[in-house]
């Protein structure tokens, strides 16, 4: 009954959903392409090979899943890899990361007929959903067709768990139908268990396994060396944070360069009003310029390599923070604000390792970042701690691969009904 009411509600909302999609396409043209896929009308003919399907909703999940996708392809060369997403920026990044090595499509909206068309066209042997993508009709359709659903790199904050508990009639059957939950931490596992997950494995965070682009890192280091200026990176900022952080800076000393990289490309033009130059325009910042806009996609390895200290966005507004592991992997001290519930375990580990500092607000974060810029010794210690932290927590991707292999063995055709075990 709950799922029926949910379906009626989202069906009634379809005209609004499509209108919003078209509206977003003004700034991000990819939203206006392949719209039929949103309703399950798939293009291209299947190759006849068995399909492993991985869903990475947006940019963060696309980056996090890159190593897993690469290793799945290497481990199962007789399979096609299909990757779906929901956002234009995510789809664009998937194209940059994987090119023609995988098939890329939109995930259909969660309408029973759209999901049915999608599954009948692609016929996946295994579905891997990144982090917290649980769609009731999609899960039900996969279960009915015997497609095992694996929730990879799964995280569940206490805030999200409260939301799921409010809609238990809808969410409990979906979570119980998952063949396997690969939780990032014991705390995530406990929350999924309380919500009815049948089989849970604590596998760690695949983001610790991400392989930096060495060419981009080398370019970033050379860029910073040519500037011969201290560089403060405001990484993956959300709406309102840029002005908040820039306003917290003291009067300019004529040297500090602040590089601002917004989380979403649709905000580049708006944030440009706060900047004196843009990376997409090609020229390096002039000596008299204080704020430089990082308005290119797929270059976070460049920006972190160019930075002396990074302030992590999404943490000064109630958004739950952004990925601080990239800063740790680059050996860059990370400073973040009070809202880190989406990365609570990684934030805790980084704080305890001495690789990151959590500030109460934007002013305190800027103050700590400036203190670090004036202390080469502290920067070196924090950067080394971050690198050690990443080294110590590698291996989640390999654990995911071993678990995926269970569902891809010939005898595992009915893997969706694997007995529960914690």
DSSP structural state of residue 230: -
CA separation for the pair 360, 358 (Å, rounded)? 7
CA separation for the pair 371, 232 (Å, rounded)? 11
Q: How far is CA 206 from CA 6, 148, 393, in A?
A: 32, 20, 9
In this structure, the dihedral spanned by the alpha carbons of residues 286, 287, 289 and 290, taken in order and rounded to 10 degrees, is 130
Contact yes or no for 231/307 (Cβ under 8 A): yes
Contact yes or no for 80/3 (Cβ under 8 A): no
In this structure, the dihedral spanned by the alpha carbons of residues 292, 373, 225 and 259, taken in order and rounded to 10 degrees, is -10
What residues act catalytically? 61
How is 52-92 classified by DSSP, letter by letter?
A: EEEE--SHHHHHHHHHHHHHHHHH-TTSEEEEEESSHHHHH
Burial of 23 (C-beta count, 10 Å sphere; 0-12/13-18/19+): exposed
Q: How far is CA 162 from CA 166, 175, 198, in A?
A: 6, 14, 19
Token pair belonging to 70: 């690469």
Looking at the DSSP bridge assignments, the partners of residue 248 are none
32-61 in b/e form (b: 16+ CB < 10 A) is: eeeeebbbbebeeeeeeeebbbbbbbbbbb
Looking at the DSSP bridge assignments, the partners of residue 312 are 235, 336
DSSP structural state of residue 42: -
Contact yes or no for 140/174 (Cβ under 8 A): yes
How is 141-210 classified by DSSP, letter by letter?
A: HHHHTT--EEEEEE---HHHHHHHHHTHHHHHHHHHT-SEEEESSHHHHHHHHHTT-S-EEE---GGGG-
User: What phi, psi does 317 have (nearest 5°)?
Assistant: -125, 160
């Amino acid at each position: 009954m709950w799922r029926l009411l949910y379906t009626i509600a989202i069906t009634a909302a379809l005209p609004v959903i499509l209108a919003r999609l078209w509206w977003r396409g003004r700034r991000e043209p990819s939203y206006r392409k392949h719209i039929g896929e949103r309703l399950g009308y798939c293009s291209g003919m299947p190759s006849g090979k068995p399909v492993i399907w991985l869903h990475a909703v947006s940019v963060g999940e696309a980056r996090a899943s890159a190593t897993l996708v690469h290793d799945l392809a290497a481990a199962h060369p007789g399979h096609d890899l299909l990757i779906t997403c929901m956002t234009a920026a995510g789809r664009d990044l998937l194209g940059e990361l994987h090119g023609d090595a995988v098939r890329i499509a939109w995930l259909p909206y969660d309408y029973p007929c759209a999901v049915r068309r999608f599954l009948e066209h692609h016929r996946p042997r295994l579905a891997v959903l990144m982090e917290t993508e649980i769609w009731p009709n999609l899960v039900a359709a996969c279960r009915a067709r015997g497609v095992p659903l694996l929730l990879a790199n799964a995280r569940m904050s206490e805030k999200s768990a409260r939301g799921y508990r409010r809609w238990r009639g809808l969410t409990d059957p979906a979570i119980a139908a998952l063949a396997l939950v690969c939780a990032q931490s014991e705390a995530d596992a406990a929350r999924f268990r309380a919500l009815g997950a049948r089989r849970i494995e604590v596998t760690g965070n695949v983001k610790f396994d991400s392989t930096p682009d060495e060419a981009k890192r080398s370019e970033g280091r050379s860029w910073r060396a040519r500037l011969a200026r201290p560089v403060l990176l405001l990484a993956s900022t959300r709406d309102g944070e840029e002005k908040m952080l820039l306003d917290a800076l003291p009067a300019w000393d004529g040297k500090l360069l602040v590089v601002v990289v917004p989380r979403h490309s649709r905000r580049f033009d708006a944030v440009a009003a706060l900047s004196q130059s843009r990376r997409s325009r090609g020229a390096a910042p002039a000596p008299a310029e204080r704020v430089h806009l990082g308005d290119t996609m797929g270059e976070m390895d460049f920006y972190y390599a160019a930075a002396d200290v990074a302030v992590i966005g999404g943490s000064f507004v109630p958004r739950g923070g952004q990925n601080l592991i990239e800063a740790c992997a680059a050996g860059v001290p990370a400073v973040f604000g009070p809202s880190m519930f989406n990365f609570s375990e990684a934030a805790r580990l980084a704080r305890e390792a001495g690789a990151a500092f959590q500030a109460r607000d934007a002013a305190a974060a800027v103050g700590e970042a400036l203190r670090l810029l004036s202390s080469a010794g502290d920067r070196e210690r924090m950067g080394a701690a971050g690198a050690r932290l990443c080294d110590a927590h590698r291996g989640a991707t390999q654990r995911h691969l071993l678990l995926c292999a269970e569902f891809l063995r010939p005898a595992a055709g009915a893997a969706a009904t694997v007995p529960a075990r914690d």
